[in-house]
Structure 1
Amino acid sequence: MQLYHHPFDLDSQKVRLALEEKGIDYTSYHANPVTGKNLDSSFFKMNPSGRLPVFQNGSHIIYKTIDIIQYIERIAEVSSGSETISTSGREVTEWMQKIQEWEPKYFSLLHIPEKHRVYVSKFIRRVVIARMAESPELAGAYHKKLREVYQTEEKLKDTDVLRRSKEHLVRLLDEAERQLSETRYLAGEQFSMADSMFTPLLARLVLLDLEGEYITSRPNIVKYWFMVQQRPSYKKVIGKHFDGWRKHKTLLKTWCFVCIRSFLKRY
Protein backbone atom coordinates (compact mmCIF):
# COMPACT_ATOMS: atom_id res chain seq x y z
CA MET A 1 0.00 0.00 0.00
CA GLN A 2 1.27 3.43 -0.98
CA LEU A 3 0.22 6.90 0.11
CA TYR A 4 1.11 10.02 -1.87
CA HIS A 5 0.80 12.97 0.49
CA HIS A 6 2.55 15.89 2.15
CA PRO A 7 2.71 17.15 5.77
CA PHE A 8 1.30 20.55 4.70
CA ASP A 9 -1.82 19.07 3.16
CA LEU A 10 -4.90 18.95 5.40
CA ASP A 11 -6.55 15.93 3.73
CA SER A 12 -3.23 14.08 3.79
CA GLN A 13 -3.06 14.60 7.54
CA LYS A 14 -6.57 13.18 7.94
CA VAL A 15 -5.64 10.01 6.07
CA ARG A 16 -2.30 9.58 7.81
CA LEU A 17 -3.90 9.91 11.24
CA ALA A 18 -6.37 7.19 10.23
CA LEU A 19 -3.51 4.94 9.07
CA GLU A 20 -1.58 5.46 12.30
CA GLU A 21 -4.64 4.96 14.51
CA LYS A 22 -5.49 1.71 12.71
CA GLY A 23 -1.87 0.51 12.71
CA ILE A 24 -1.73 0.05 8.93
CA ASP A 25 1.71 -0.26 7.37
CA TYR A 26 2.22 1.73 4.17
CA THR A 27 4.90 3.25 1.96
CA SER A 28 5.04 7.03 2.13
CA TYR A 29 5.70 9.26 -0.89
CA HIS A 30 5.92 13.04 -0.50
CA ALA A 31 4.45 15.26 -3.21
CA ASN A 32 4.70 18.88 -2.06
CA PRO A 33 1.91 20.91 -3.72
CA VAL A 34 3.66 24.21 -2.92
CA THR A 35 6.72 23.21 -4.96
CA GLY A 36 4.60 21.60 -7.69
CA LYS A 37 5.68 18.01 -7.09
CA ASN A 38 2.07 16.91 -7.41
CA LEU A 39 2.23 18.11 -11.02
CA ASP A 40 4.94 15.68 -12.16
CA SER A 41 3.72 13.55 -15.05
CA SER A 42 4.06 10.28 -13.09
CA PHE A 43 1.66 11.59 -10.43
CA PHE A 44 -0.61 13.31 -12.94
CA LYS A 45 -1.15 10.10 -14.87
CA MET A 46 -2.36 8.52 -11.66
CA ASN A 47 -4.52 11.47 -10.57
CA PRO A 48 -5.21 14.11 -13.27
CA SER A 49 -6.59 16.55 -10.70
CA GLY A 50 -3.16 16.72 -9.07
CA ARG A 51 -4.79 16.72 -5.64
CA LEU A 52 -3.56 15.01 -2.50
CA PRO A 53 -3.73 12.50 -0.99
CA VAL A 54 -3.76 9.48 -3.28
CA PHE A 55 -3.94 5.98 -1.82
CA GLN A 56 -2.85 3.01 -3.91
CA ASN A 57 -3.22 -0.65 -3.06
CA GLY A 58 -2.02 -2.68 -6.05
CA SER A 59 -4.06 -1.49 -9.02
CA HIS A 60 -6.70 0.03 -6.76
CA ILE A 61 -6.35 3.83 -6.54
CA ILE A 62 -8.51 6.07 -4.33
CA TYR A 63 -8.58 9.89 -4.34
CA LYS A 64 -11.40 11.02 -2.04
CA THR A 65 -10.46 11.46 1.60
CA ILE A 66 -13.51 9.81 3.18
CA ASP A 67 -13.33 6.91 0.70
CA ILE A 68 -9.67 6.36 1.61
CA ILE A 69 -10.41 6.40 5.35
CA GLN A 70 -13.30 3.96 5.01
CA TYR A 71 -11.10 1.69 2.89
CA ILE A 72 -8.45 1.84 5.64
CA GLU A 73 -11.09 0.79 8.16
CA ARG A 74 -11.98 -2.25 6.05
CA ILE A 75 -8.30 -3.19 5.75
CA ALA A 76 -7.96 -2.95 9.55
CA GLU A 77 -11.00 -5.20 10.02
CA VAL A 78 -9.55 -7.82 7.67
CA SER A 79 -6.12 -7.61 9.30
CA SER A 80 -7.68 -8.18 12.72
CA GLY A 81 -9.19 -11.45 11.52
CA SER A 82 -12.76 -10.25 11.96
CA GLU A 83 -15.32 -12.30 10.06
CA THR A 84 -17.45 -9.23 9.39
CA ILE A 85 -16.23 -6.14 7.59
CA SER A 86 -17.76 -2.87 8.74
CA THR A 87 -17.02 0.83 8.51
CA SER A 88 -17.80 3.66 10.92
CA GLY A 89 -21.28 3.95 12.37
CA ARG A 90 -23.82 6.53 11.27
CA GLU A 91 -22.82 9.19 13.80
CA VAL A 92 -19.13 8.93 12.92
CA THR A 93 -19.88 9.04 9.18
CA GLU A 94 -22.10 12.10 9.61
CA TRP A 95 -19.31 13.93 11.42
CA MET A 96 -16.80 12.92 8.75
CA GLN A 97 -19.05 14.37 6.07
CA LYS A 98 -19.65 17.60 8.01
CA ILE A 99 -15.92 18.12 8.49
CA GLN A 100 -15.13 17.37 4.85
CA GLU A 101 -17.76 19.83 3.62
CA TRP A 102 -15.68 22.74 4.91
CA GLU A 103 -13.25 23.80 2.18
CA PRO A 104 -9.98 24.95 3.82
CA LYS A 105 -8.30 26.04 0.58
CA TYR A 106 -9.49 29.64 0.31
CA PHE A 107 -9.57 30.17 4.05
CA SER A 108 -5.92 29.14 4.34
CA LEU A 109 -4.75 31.11 1.32
CA LEU A 110 -6.47 34.30 2.47
CA HIS A 111 -4.56 34.14 5.77
CA ILE A 112 -1.21 34.06 3.99
CA PRO A 113 0.48 37.39 3.09
CA GLU A 114 -0.63 38.36 -0.42
CA LYS A 115 2.89 38.86 -1.80
CA HIS A 116 3.87 35.32 -0.78
CA ARG A 117 0.63 33.87 -2.09
CA VAL A 118 0.99 35.59 -5.48
CA TYR A 119 4.65 34.55 -5.74
CA VAL A 120 3.83 30.87 -5.19
CA SER A 121 0.84 31.03 -7.55
CA LYS A 122 3.04 32.41 -10.30
CA PHE A 123 5.57 29.64 -9.65
CA ILE A 124 2.86 26.96 -9.85
CA ARG A 125 1.57 28.34 -13.17
CA ARG A 126 5.05 28.09 -14.63
CA VAL A 127 5.43 24.54 -13.30
CA VAL A 128 2.17 23.54 -15.01
CA ILE A 129 3.32 25.04 -18.32
CA ALA A 130 6.71 23.31 -18.06
CA ARG A 131 5.13 19.92 -17.33
CA MET A 132 2.71 20.40 -20.21
CA ALA A 133 5.65 20.89 -22.58
CA GLU A 134 7.35 17.77 -21.22
CA SER A 135 4.22 15.59 -21.47
CA PRO A 136 2.04 16.78 -24.38
CA GLU A 137 -0.11 13.65 -24.06
CA LEU A 138 -1.39 15.11 -20.77
CA ALA A 139 -1.98 18.58 -22.21
CA GLY A 140 -5.75 18.44 -21.59
CA ALA A 141 -5.34 17.66 -17.90
CA TYR A 142 -2.63 20.32 -17.50
CA HIS A 143 -4.80 22.94 -19.23
CA LYS A 144 -7.57 22.15 -16.78
CA LYS A 145 -5.17 22.53 -13.86
CA LEU A 146 -3.92 25.85 -15.21
CA ARG A 147 -7.49 27.16 -15.42
CA GLU A 148 -8.03 26.03 -11.85
CA VAL A 149 -5.03 28.08 -10.68
CA TYR A 150 -6.34 31.20 -12.43
CA GLN A 151 -9.85 30.63 -11.04
CA THR A 152 -8.42 30.35 -7.53
CA GLU A 153 -6.67 33.70 -7.94
CA GLU A 154 -9.93 35.31 -9.07
CA LYS A 155 -11.94 33.84 -6.19
CA LEU A 156 -9.43 35.17 -3.68
CA LYS A 157 -10.33 38.69 -4.83
CA ASP A 158 -13.94 38.12 -3.80
CA THR A 159 -14.47 39.22 -0.18
CA ASP A 160 -17.55 37.00 0.09
CA VAL A 161 -15.39 33.90 -0.35
CA LEU A 162 -13.61 34.42 2.98
CA ARG A 163 -16.83 35.49 4.71
CA ARG A 164 -18.69 32.33 3.66
CA SER A 165 -15.73 30.15 4.59
CA LYS A 166 -15.47 31.72 8.04
CA GLU A 167 -19.20 31.38 8.66
CA HIS A 168 -19.09 27.70 7.68
CA LEU A 169 -16.10 27.10 9.95
CA VAL A 170 -17.74 28.84 12.91
CA ARG A 171 -20.90 26.73 12.52
CA LEU A 172 -18.81 23.56 12.46
CA LEU A 173 -16.77 24.56 15.52
CA ASP A 174 -19.87 25.60 17.44
CA GLU A 175 -21.50 22.24 16.72
CA ALA A 176 -18.33 20.43 17.80
CA GLU A 177 -18.23 22.53 20.99
CA ARG A 178 -21.78 21.47 21.85
CA GLN A 179 -21.05 17.82 21.12
CA LEU A 180 -17.88 17.83 23.20
CA SER A 181 -19.85 19.10 26.18
CA GLU A 182 -21.61 15.72 26.15
CA THR A 183 -18.95 13.27 24.96
CA ARG A 184 -15.19 12.89 25.27
CA TYR A 185 -14.69 12.74 21.50
CA LEU A 186 -16.82 13.84 18.56
CA ALA A 187 -18.81 10.64 18.19
CA GLY A 188 -18.64 9.18 21.69
CA GLU A 189 -16.14 8.17 24.35
CA GLN A 190 -13.64 6.59 21.97
CA PHE A 191 -11.37 8.26 19.40
CA SER A 192 -12.89 7.59 15.97
CA MET A 193 -12.23 8.37 12.33
CA ALA A 194 -14.26 11.56 12.82
CA ASP A 195 -11.55 12.71 15.24
CA SER A 196 -8.86 11.76 12.72
CA MET A 197 -10.51 14.25 10.38
CA PHE A 198 -11.22 16.99 12.92
CA THR A 199 -7.79 17.10 14.56
CA PRO A 200 -5.97 18.39 11.42
CA LEU A 201 -8.54 21.16 11.10
CA LEU A 202 -7.62 22.44 14.56
CA ALA A 203 -3.93 22.07 13.74
CA ARG A 204 -4.45 24.23 10.63
CA LEU A 205 -5.99 27.00 12.73
CA VAL A 206 -3.02 26.88 15.09
CA LEU A 207 -0.58 26.92 12.15
CA LEU A 208 -2.27 30.07 10.83
CA ASP A 209 -2.00 31.68 14.31
CA LEU A 210 -5.80 31.73 14.65
CA GLU A 211 -5.98 29.66 17.82
CA GLY A 212 -7.12 32.63 19.90
CA GLU A 213 -9.99 33.47 17.58
CA TYR A 214 -11.35 30.00 16.93
CA ILE A 215 -10.16 27.59 19.65
CA THR A 216 -9.48 29.24 23.00
CA SER A 217 -12.96 30.82 23.05
CA ARG A 218 -14.46 27.31 23.09
CA PRO A 219 -13.51 25.57 26.37
CA ASN A 220 -14.62 22.08 25.35
CA ILE A 221 -12.57 22.24 22.15
CA VAL A 222 -9.59 23.53 24.17
CA LYS A 223 -9.77 20.45 26.39
CA TYR A 224 -10.24 18.18 23.37
CA TRP A 225 -7.34 19.81 21.48
CA PHE A 226 -4.97 19.27 24.41
CA MET A 227 -6.08 15.64 24.65
CA VAL A 228 -5.63 14.73 20.97
CA GLN A 229 -2.17 16.30 20.91
CA GLN A 230 -1.03 13.65 23.39
CA ARG A 231 -1.84 10.79 21.02
CA PRO A 232 1.13 9.07 19.31
CA SER A 233 -0.60 9.43 15.94
CA TYR A 234 -0.75 13.23 16.30
CA LYS A 235 2.88 13.47 17.35
CA LYS A 236 4.00 11.43 14.34
CA VAL A 237 1.75 12.96 11.68
CA ILE A 238 1.45 16.62 12.73
CA GLY A 239 3.53 17.45 15.80
CA LYS A 240 6.70 16.17 14.17
CA HIS A 241 6.44 18.86 11.50
CA PHE A 242 4.59 21.78 13.05
CA ASP A 243 5.11 21.94 16.81
CA GLY A 244 7.34 24.80 17.98
CA TRP A 245 10.43 25.56 15.89
CA ARG A 246 9.66 22.66 13.55
CA LYS A 247 6.88 24.73 11.96
CA HIS A 248 9.36 27.39 10.86
CA LYS A 249 11.84 24.80 9.63
CA THR A 250 9.20 23.06 7.50
CA LEU A 251 7.89 26.29 5.99
CA LEU A 252 11.34 27.82 5.42
CA LYS A 253 12.59 24.74 3.58
CA THR A 254 9.69 24.91 1.14
CA TRP A 255 9.95 28.68 0.66
CA CYS A 256 13.68 28.44 -0.10
CA PHE A 257 13.01 25.72 -2.69
CA VAL A 258 10.45 27.89 -4.50
CA CYS A 259 12.68 30.99 -4.42
CA ILE A 260 15.76 29.16 -5.72
CA ARG A 261 13.85 27.43 -8.52
CA SER A 262 12.23 30.72 -9.51
CA PHE A 263 15.59 32.51 -9.56
CA LEU A 264 17.17 29.79 -11.69
CA LYS A 265 14.01 29.54 -13.84
CA ARG A 266 13.99 25.78 -13.31
CA TYR A 267 10.46 24.57 -13.05
Structure 2
Amino acid sequence: MQLYHHPLDLDSQRVRLALEEEGVDYTSHHVNPITGKNLDSSFFKVNRHGRVPVFQNGSHIIYNTIDIIQYIERIAVVSSGAESISASNREVIEWMQKIQDWEPKFFTLSHIPDKYRFYVSKFIRQVVIARMSESPELAGDYHRKLREAYETEEKLKEADVLRRSKEHLVRILDEVERQLCETPFLAGQDFTMADVMLIPVLARLKLLDLENEYINGRPNIAEYWLLVQQRPSYKRVIGKYFNGWRKHKTLLKTWFLVRIRSLLKRY
Protein backbone atom coordinates (compact mmCIF):
# COMPACT_ATOMS: atom_id res chain seq x y z
CA MET A 1 0.00 0.00 0.00
CA GLN A 2 1.32 3.40 -1.04
CA LEU A 3 0.41 6.80 0.37
CA TYR A 4 1.32 10.02 -1.44
CA HIS A 5 1.07 12.83 1.09
CA HIS A 6 2.76 15.72 2.85
CA PRO A 7 3.04 16.55 6.59
CA LEU A 8 1.76 20.10 6.03
CA ASP A 9 -1.39 18.96 4.25
CA LEU A 10 -4.52 18.71 6.40
CA ASP A 11 -6.16 15.81 4.53
CA SER A 12 -2.86 13.93 4.45
CA GLN A 13 -2.71 14.24 8.23
CA ARG A 14 -6.19 12.75 8.51
CA VAL A 15 -5.30 9.71 6.43
CA ARG A 16 -2.02 9.16 8.28
CA LEU A 17 -3.80 9.42 11.65
CA ALA A 18 -6.24 6.75 10.47
CA LEU A 19 -3.39 4.50 9.33
CA GLU A 20 -1.61 4.90 12.67
CA GLU A 21 -4.74 4.35 14.74
CA GLU A 22 -5.64 1.20 12.79
CA GLY A 23 -2.07 -0.10 12.70
CA VAL A 24 -1.96 -0.45 8.92
CA ASP A 25 1.49 -0.58 7.31
CA TYR A 26 2.15 1.52 4.21
CA THR A 27 4.92 3.01 2.12
CA SER A 28 5.21 6.78 2.49
CA HIS A 29 5.88 9.11 -0.45
CA HIS A 30 6.27 12.83 0.32
CA VAL A 31 4.70 15.11 -2.28
CA ASN A 32 5.05 18.78 -1.31
CA PRO A 33 2.41 20.97 -3.02
CA ILE A 34 4.18 24.16 -1.91
CA THR A 35 7.29 23.24 -3.90
CA GLY A 36 5.17 22.01 -6.82
CA LYS A 37 6.02 18.31 -6.48
CA ASN A 38 2.34 17.48 -6.94
CA LEU A 39 2.70 18.87 -10.47
CA ASP A 40 5.45 16.48 -11.59
CA SER A 41 4.13 14.48 -14.52
CA SER A 42 4.69 11.15 -12.73
CA PHE A 43 2.31 12.18 -9.95
CA PHE A 44 -0.01 14.18 -12.19
CA LYS A 45 -0.72 11.10 -14.29
CA VAL A 46 -1.94 9.34 -11.15
CA ASN A 47 -4.12 12.27 -10.03
CA ARG A 48 -4.94 14.84 -12.71
CA HIS A 49 -6.16 17.24 -10.02
CA GLY A 50 -2.64 17.29 -8.57
CA ARG A 51 -3.84 16.94 -4.98
CA VAL A 52 -2.72 14.90 -2.01
CA PRO A 53 -3.40 12.53 -0.40
CA VAL A 54 -3.55 9.67 -2.87
CA PHE A 55 -3.84 6.13 -1.54
CA GLN A 56 -2.89 3.19 -3.74
CA ASN A 57 -3.33 -0.49 -3.00
CA GLY A 58 -2.17 -2.42 -6.04
CA SER A 59 -4.20 -1.12 -8.96
CA HIS A 60 -6.83 0.38 -6.65
CA ILE A 61 -6.37 4.16 -6.28
CA ILE A 62 -8.46 6.41 -3.99
CA TYR A 63 -8.41 10.20 -3.86
CA ASN A 64 -11.27 11.21 -1.55
CA THR A 65 -10.16 11.53 2.08
CA ILE A 66 -13.24 9.98 3.69
CA ASP A 67 -13.23 7.13 1.14
CA ILE A 68 -9.56 6.45 1.98
CA ILE A 69 -10.26 6.40 5.71
CA GLN A 70 -13.21 4.01 5.34
CA TYR A 71 -11.09 1.78 3.11
CA ILE A 72 -8.38 1.75 5.81
CA GLU A 73 -10.99 0.73 8.37
CA ARG A 74 -12.03 -2.22 6.21
CA ILE A 75 -8.40 -3.26 5.70
CA ALA A 76 -7.82 -3.19 9.46
CA VAL A 77 -10.85 -5.35 10.21
CA VAL A 78 -10.00 -7.91 7.52
CA SER A 79 -6.38 -8.02 8.71
CA SER A 80 -7.52 -8.68 12.26
CA GLY A 81 -9.34 -11.82 11.11
CA ALA A 82 -12.82 -10.60 12.10
CA GLU A 83 -15.65 -12.48 10.46
CA SER A 84 -17.63 -9.37 9.60
CA ILE A 85 -16.54 -5.88 8.61
CA SER A 86 -17.66 -3.13 10.97
CA ALA A 87 -17.45 0.34 9.52
CA SER A 88 -17.91 3.66 11.30
CA ASN A 89 -21.48 4.13 12.45
CA ARG A 90 -23.84 6.73 11.09
CA GLU A 91 -23.03 9.35 13.72
CA VAL A 92 -19.30 9.06 13.04
CA ILE A 93 -19.81 9.37 9.28
CA GLU A 94 -22.03 12.42 9.72
CA TRP A 95 -19.34 14.13 11.79
CA MET A 96 -16.69 13.17 9.26
CA GLN A 97 -18.64 14.70 6.40
CA LYS A 98 -19.54 17.79 8.39
CA ILE A 99 -15.90 18.51 9.14
CA GLN A 100 -14.77 17.67 5.61
CA ASP A 101 -17.26 20.19 4.19
CA TRP A 102 -15.17 23.03 5.60
CA GLU A 103 -12.61 24.15 3.00
CA PRO A 104 -9.43 25.25 4.84
CA LYS A 105 -7.64 26.71 1.82
CA PHE A 106 -8.93 30.28 1.88
CA PHE A 107 -8.88 30.50 5.67
CA THR A 108 -5.26 29.32 5.78
CA LEU A 109 -4.03 31.51 2.93
CA SER A 110 -5.72 34.59 4.40
CA HIS A 111 -3.55 34.22 7.52
CA ILE A 112 -0.27 34.02 5.62
CA PRO A 113 1.56 37.34 5.04
CA ASP A 114 0.90 38.62 1.53
CA LYS A 115 4.55 38.79 0.51
CA TYR A 116 5.06 35.06 1.17
CA ARG A 117 1.75 34.05 -0.35
CA PHE A 118 2.33 36.05 -3.55
CA TYR A 119 5.85 34.68 -3.88
CA VAL A 120 4.75 31.06 -3.59
CA SER A 121 1.73 31.63 -5.85
CA LYS A 122 3.97 33.05 -8.57
CA PHE A 123 6.40 30.14 -8.14
CA ILE A 124 3.59 27.58 -8.49
CA ARG A 125 2.33 29.24 -11.68
CA GLN A 126 5.83 29.05 -13.13
CA VAL A 127 6.03 25.37 -12.21
CA VAL A 128 2.72 24.68 -13.97
CA ILE A 129 3.92 26.45 -17.13
CA ALA A 130 7.20 24.50 -17.08
CA ARG A 131 5.41 21.15 -16.66
CA MET A 132 2.97 22.05 -19.42
CA SER A 133 5.90 22.51 -21.77
CA GLU A 134 7.52 19.23 -20.69
CA SER A 135 4.33 17.15 -20.98
CA PRO A 136 2.15 18.53 -23.79
CA GLU A 137 -0.14 15.50 -23.54
CA LEU A 138 -1.21 16.83 -20.11
CA ALA A 139 -1.49 20.45 -21.25
CA GLY A 140 -5.27 20.61 -20.73
CA ASP A 141 -5.02 19.47 -17.13
CA TYR A 142 -2.08 21.76 -16.42
CA HIS A 143 -3.97 24.68 -17.91
CA ARG A 144 -6.84 23.96 -15.52
CA LYS A 145 -4.41 24.05 -12.58
CA LEU A 146 -3.04 27.38 -13.81
CA ARG A 147 -6.55 28.80 -14.00
CA GLU A 148 -7.26 27.54 -10.46
CA ALA A 149 -4.17 29.36 -9.16
CA TYR A 150 -5.32 32.67 -10.64
CA GLU A 151 -8.89 32.12 -9.38
CA THR A 152 -7.61 31.47 -5.85
CA GLU A 153 -5.79 34.80 -5.78
CA GLU A 154 -8.90 36.58 -7.02
CA LYS A 155 -11.14 34.95 -4.42
CA LEU A 156 -8.74 35.93 -1.64
CA LYS A 157 -9.51 39.56 -2.51
CA GLU A 158 -13.22 39.00 -1.80
CA ALA A 159 -14.17 39.77 1.79
CA ASP A 160 -17.28 37.56 1.54
CA VAL A 161 -15.22 34.47 0.68
CA LEU A 162 -13.05 34.88 3.76
CA ARG A 163 -16.01 35.79 5.98
CA ARG A 164 -17.96 32.68 4.91
CA SER A 165 -14.94 30.45 5.52
CA LYS A 166 -14.46 31.84 9.02
CA GLU A 167 -18.17 31.62 9.85
CA HIS A 168 -18.29 28.01 8.65
CA LEU A 169 -15.35 27.11 10.88
CA VAL A 170 -16.92 28.87 13.88
CA ARG A 171 -20.20 26.98 13.40
CA ILE A 172 -18.36 23.66 13.38
CA LEU A 173 -16.29 24.51 16.45
CA ASP A 174 -19.35 25.70 18.35
CA GLU A 175 -21.13 22.43 17.55
CA VAL A 176 -18.05 20.45 18.59
CA GLU A 177 -17.92 22.42 21.85
CA ARG A 178 -21.52 21.49 22.63
CA GLN A 179 -20.91 17.83 21.81
CA LEU A 180 -17.79 17.63 23.97
CA CYS A 181 -19.86 18.86 26.88
CA GLU A 182 -21.69 15.51 26.67
CA THR A 183 -18.96 13.06 25.63
CA PRO A 184 -15.14 12.90 25.92
CA PHE A 185 -14.72 12.32 22.20
CA LEU A 186 -16.58 13.67 19.21
CA ALA A 187 -18.88 10.72 18.57
CA GLY A 188 -19.14 9.22 22.04
CA GLN A 189 -17.03 7.59 24.71
CA ASP A 190 -14.40 6.23 22.34
CA PHE A 191 -11.93 7.74 19.89
CA THR A 192 -13.21 7.32 16.32
CA MET A 193 -12.55 8.43 12.77
CA ALA A 194 -14.61 11.54 13.54
CA ASP A 195 -11.79 12.61 15.85
CA VAL A 196 -9.29 11.77 13.12
CA MET A 197 -11.07 14.32 10.90
CA LEU A 198 -11.15 17.01 13.60
CA ILE A 199 -7.64 16.85 15.05
CA PRO A 200 -5.87 18.30 11.97
CA VAL A 201 -8.25 21.28 12.02
CA LEU A 202 -7.12 22.08 15.57
CA ALA A 203 -3.51 21.50 14.56
CA ARG A 204 -3.92 23.95 11.69
CA LEU A 205 -5.23 26.60 14.09
CA LYS A 206 -2.22 25.98 16.33
CA LEU A 207 0.15 26.26 13.37
CA LEU A 208 -1.39 29.62 12.46
CA ASP A 209 -1.07 30.81 16.09
CA LEU A 210 -4.86 31.05 16.43
CA GLU A 211 -5.29 28.83 19.51
CA ASN A 212 -6.40 31.69 21.75
CA GLU A 213 -9.08 32.84 19.33
CA TYR A 214 -10.56 29.50 18.33
CA ILE A 215 -9.54 26.86 20.89
CA ASN A 216 -8.76 28.29 24.31
CA GLY A 217 -12.01 30.25 24.44
CA ARG A 218 -13.93 26.98 24.16
CA PRO A 219 -13.13 25.07 27.38
CA ASN A 220 -14.36 21.67 26.22
CA ILE A 221 -12.35 21.85 22.99
CA ALA A 222 -9.32 23.11 24.93
CA GLU A 223 -9.49 20.10 27.26
CA TYR A 224 -10.07 17.74 24.33
CA TRP A 225 -7.12 19.26 22.44
CA LEU A 226 -4.77 18.58 25.36
CA LEU A 227 -6.08 15.00 25.54
CA VAL A 228 -5.68 14.06 21.87
CA GLN A 229 -2.17 15.52 21.67
CA GLN A 230 -1.08 12.73 24.03
CA ARG A 231 -2.07 10.01 21.57
CA PRO A 232 0.87 8.19 19.91
CA SER A 233 -0.74 8.70 16.50
CA TYR A 234 -0.79 12.49 16.98
CA LYS A 235 2.84 12.55 18.09
CA ARG A 236 3.97 10.57 15.05
CA VAL A 237 1.83 12.30 12.42
CA ILE A 238 1.61 15.92 13.58
CA GLY A 239 3.55 16.57 16.78
CA LYS A 240 6.74 15.29 15.18
CA TYR A 241 6.62 18.12 12.66
CA PHE A 242 4.96 20.97 14.53
CA ASN A 243 6.28 20.94 18.09
CA GLY A 244 9.03 23.37 19.09
CA TRP A 245 11.89 23.93 16.66
CA ARG A 246 10.61 21.24 14.28
CA LYS A 247 7.71 23.51 13.32
CA HIS A 248 10.13 26.17 12.11
CA LYS A 249 12.43 23.59 10.50
CA THR A 250 9.57 22.17 8.40
CA LEU A 251 8.41 25.58 7.21
CA LEU A 252 11.89 27.04 6.66
CA LYS A 253 13.03 24.04 4.65
CA THR A 254 10.05 24.40 2.32
CA TRP A 255 10.55 28.17 1.99
CA PHE A 256 14.27 27.69 1.30
CA LEU A 257 13.57 25.25 -1.55
CA VAL A 258 11.08 27.62 -3.14
CA ARG A 259 13.50 30.55 -2.89
CA ILE A 260 16.46 28.65 -4.35
CA ARG A 261 14.50 27.22 -7.25
CA SER A 262 13.01 30.63 -8.01
CA LEU A 263 16.42 32.32 -7.98
CA LEU A 264 17.89 29.63 -10.23
CA LYS A 265 14.71 29.49 -12.33
CA ARG A 266 14.67 25.74 -11.82
CA TYR A 267 10.96 25.16 -12.03
What residue is the counterpart of 2:114 in the other structure? 114
**Per-residue deviation, 1:83:** 1.2
- Report sequence identity in percent: 78
What CA distance in whole angstroms lies between the structure 2 residues aligned with 1:85 and 1:229? 29
What residue is the counterpart of 1:237 in the other structure? 237
- Give runs of aligned pairs for residues 1-267 of structure 1, distance below 5 A: 1-267=1-267
Q: Which runs of 5+ in 2 are unaligned?
A: none
What CA distance in whole angstroms lies between the structure 2 residues aligned with 1:34 and 1:126? 12
**Per-residue deviation, 1:86:** 2.5
What CA distance in whole angstroms lies between the structure 1 residues aligned with 2:150 and 2:83? 50
What CA distance in whole angstroms lies between the structure 1 residues aligned with 2:101 and 2:238? 22
What CA distance in whole angstroms lies between the structure 1 residues aligned with 2:86 and 2:51? 28
Letter in 2 for 1:60: H
Deviations for 1:157-185, whole angstroms, at most 9, x for unmatched residues?
A: 10111100010000000000000000010
**Per-residue deviation, 1:85:** 1.4
Letter in 1 for 2:192: S
**RMSD, aligned α-carbons:** 0.5
3-state DSSP of counterpart to 1:87 = coil
3-state DSSP of counterpart to 2:179 = helix
Q: Which runs of 5+ in 1 are unaligned?
A: none
**Per-residue deviation, 1:130:** 0.5
Normalized against structure 2, the TM-score is what? 0.99
Normalized against structure 1, the TM-score is what? 0.99
What CA distance in whole angstroms lies between the structure 2 residues aligned with 1:21 and 1:139? 40
What CA distance in whole angstroms lies between the structure 2 residues aligned with 1:197 and 1:91? 13
**Per-residue deviation, 1:87:** 1.3
What CA distance in whole angstroms lies between the structure 2 residues aligned with 1:70 and 1:155? 33
Letter in 1 for 2:117: R
What CA distance in whole angstroms lies between the structure 1 residues aligned with 2:82 and 2:43? 34
Size of the alignment, in residue pairs?
Answer: 267
3-state DSSP of counterpart to 2:164 = helix
Deviations for 1:132-156, whole angstroms, at most 9, x for unmatched residues?
A: 1111111111011111111101100
What CA distance in whole angstroms lies between the structure 1 residues aligned with 2:265 and 2:152? 23
Letter in 1 for 2:12: S
Letter in 1 for 2:15: V
**Per-residue deviation, 1:220:** 0.3
**Per-residue deviation, 1:222:** 0.5
